[in-house]
Amino acid sequence: DAVFVQYAFQAAKVKQQYWEQTDKGGKGAETQLGWNIKENREA
């Protein structure tokens, strides 16, 4: 199953950080993503 999230906002930079959930329901691996919108490059 897939979960889709859609949102809108205005910002110069975006950073996303989340942790996957393990099969037992615990905290799994961390994933980070950042983007500099003004410069159109990874932040």
How many residues in the chain? 43
Q: How confident is the model at residue 20 (pLDDT cuts 50, 70, 90)?
A: very high
**pLDDT exceeds 90 at position 1:** no
Domain ranges within the chain, ordered by starting residue: 13-38
Q: Is the pLDDT of residue 9 over 90?
A: no
Q: Please report which helix (H) or strand (E) contains residue 18, including its range.
A: strand 13-21
Q: What is the DSSP string of the chain?
A: -----------SEEEEEEEEEPTTSSEEEEEEEEEETTTTEE-
Express each pLDDT in 21-35 by its tens digit.
999 999 999 999 999
